[in-house]
Amino acid sequence: MDDLHKLKLLAQGLVLNADVGRGTGALGAVAELREDEDEAYFSSYGHYSIHEEMLKDTVRTESYRDFMYLNPEVFKDKVVLDVGCGTGILSMFAARAGAKMVIGVDQSEIIYQAMDIVRSNQLQDRVTLIKGRIEEVKLPVEKVDIIISEWMGYFLLFESMLDSVLYARDLYLAEGGSVYPDRCTISLAAVGDTEKHQGRIAFWDDVYGFKMACMKRAVVPEAVVQVLKPDTLISKPAVIQVYTHTHTRYIERKKVTEIYWAIVGYFDIFFDRDCGNKVVFSTGPQVTKTHWKQTVFLLENPIPVQAGEELQGRITVRKNKKDPRSLFITFDLHDMKQTYSLQ
């Protein structure tokens, strides 16, 4: 089969519970940021509307709740660390699931509201909240049994909060302890939304009678976060497992002759380890929407494909050195190489 009709997606991942890199030698770029350099990020989480949006995301919040409430044996008499605790909702779930001590850490101003919330629910004897970056605070214990965190950003990795979770894991997680969620996947699929392409890319060919095609080069590299209609997907997804080694997957066509105008990315989250009642949720377009929506990578030039073809290529994800919480995502597709920014 012609390689021009294949898209093989390759990415590097990691296992949150792997016994690797213990200690501070594996600090990521975000962990190295000074507080003043990261002030805008933490200030954004001081706005109550962000927390309201996350709490009202029932797919997200109820999945965390169900994982803890349906697996009390995992939390019974355990010491739990909640990284980026926000309003303290996960900390309180953990306490009610049976944890003997929960420590929540957050650098944003929302921590003060969280303290009032914990007291309002008479959980102050089991839930301790600390303001500060996890890389800088001193916990009241040397080790914890469990780390919980809702660290995921757009396209899973945006915001790079995972760096902080891994830092906490390497420094505070006891031998045999667990990090939750413990497994994640990123999926990519081809999109055949002609209307979307016309509105976003082809639009610049004729703008009120003027040629503005040069704008395409500025517009295309911007990844778009939005909710896609499920019927715009024209392929089965390529699932990239988050493991310590590289996995290769293929996007497999599921319809007859089509033209694909974009690639969509989304992620799935799993609570598996030691859980009698496993919980999973997806941010894909086929299921109930979440506040993460999906991430769309538009192609300047659409690519025709045939039923049964495999679309081959390569994806590379890296941090923006100037802003480590944002991402550069590069696709090698056919004879095209395009880098997108997600910020």
DSSP symbol at 288: -
- Given a contact cutoff of 8 angstroms between Cβ atoms, the answer to whether 290 and 283 are in contact is yes
pLDDT tier for residue 145 given thresholds of 50, 70 and 90: very high
pLDDT tier for residue 37 given thresholds of 50, 70 and 90: low
- Return the half-sphere exposure (C-beta side, CA atoms, 13 A cut-off) of residue 226: 14
Nearest 5°: phi and psi at 185? -135, 150
Strand partners, 124: none
Lowest mean pLDDT of 57-66, 69-78, 190-199, 303-312, name the range.
Answer: 303-312
Strand partners, 224: 296
Nearest 5°: phi and psi at 241? -70, 145
Residue 107: closest CA among 127, 130, 81, 139 = 130
What was the pLDDT predicted at 6? Answer: 34
- How far is CA 223 from each of CA 11, 207, 219, 287, 297, rounded to the nearest angstrom? 18, 22, 9, 21, 5
What was the pLDDT predicted at 108? Answer: 92
For 296, the token pair is 């769309």
For 88, the token pair is 């303290």
Q: Does 27 have pLDDT greater than 50?
A: no
Residue 130: closest CA among 146, 143, 145, 118 = 118
Q: Does 11 have pLDDT greater than 90?
A: no
Domains 29-180 and 184-342 alike in fold: no
What was the pLDDT predicted at 8? Answer: 34
What does the pLDDT look like over 91-139, one tens digit per residue?
Answer: 999 999 999 999 999 999 999 999 999 999 999 999 999 999 999 999 9
User: Residues for the chain: how many in total?
Assistant: 343
Which CATH number does 184-342 carry?
2.70.160.11
Q: Does 180 have pLDDT greater than 60?
A: yes
Lowest mean pLDDT of 134-143, 247-256, 304-313, name the range.
Answer: 247-256
For 147, the token pair is 């780390």
Amino acid in position 16:
L
Mean pLDDT of 305-312: 78
Domain boundaries, the chain: 29-180, 184-342
- Given a contact cutoff of 8 angstroms between Cβ atoms, the answer to whether 184 and 121 are in contact is no
Of 324 and 17, which is predicted with more confidence? 324
What was the pLDDT predicted at 2? Answer: 33
Mean pLDDT of 203-231: 94
Amino acid in position 220:
V
Residue 274's SS3 state is coil
Nearest 5°: phi and psi at 253? -65, 140
- Write down the number of H helices and E strands in the chain: 9, 18
The per-residue pLDDT of the chain, averaged, comes to 83
Amino acid in position 254:
K
pTM comes to: 0.83
Mean pLDDT of 279-283: 97
Contacts of 118 (CB under 8 A, 6+ apart): 88, 91, 92, 124, 127, 129
Q: Which of 81-95, 243-257, 317-331: highest mean pLDDT?
A: 81-95
- Domain 29-180: which CATH number of 3.60.150.10, 3.40.50.80, 3.40.50.150, 1.10.1040.10: 3.40.50.150
Nearest 5°: phi and psi at 14? -155, 160
Share of the chain above pLDDT 90, in %: 60
Q: Which of 152-166, 268-282, 289-303: highest mean pLDDT?
A: 268-282
Which of these is catalytic: 35, 39, 53, 150?
A: 150
Which of these is catalytic: 159, 175, 222, 310?
A: 159
Task: Please give the span between the terminal C-alpha atoms of the chain, in angstroms, as a whole number.
Answer: 37
Strand partners, 188: 238, 265
- 37 among known catalytic residues: no
Question: What are the E-state strand segments in 58-126?
Answer: 79-83, 101-106
DSSP symbol at 210: B
What was the pLDDT predicted at 215? Answer: 94
Q: Does 252 have pLDDT greater than 80?
A: no
Q: Does 296 have pLDDT greater than 80?
A: yes
What was the pLDDT predicted at 25? Answer: 39
- 150 among known catalytic residues: yes
Mean pLDDT of 226-247: 74
Q: Does 148 have pLDDT greater than 80?
A: yes
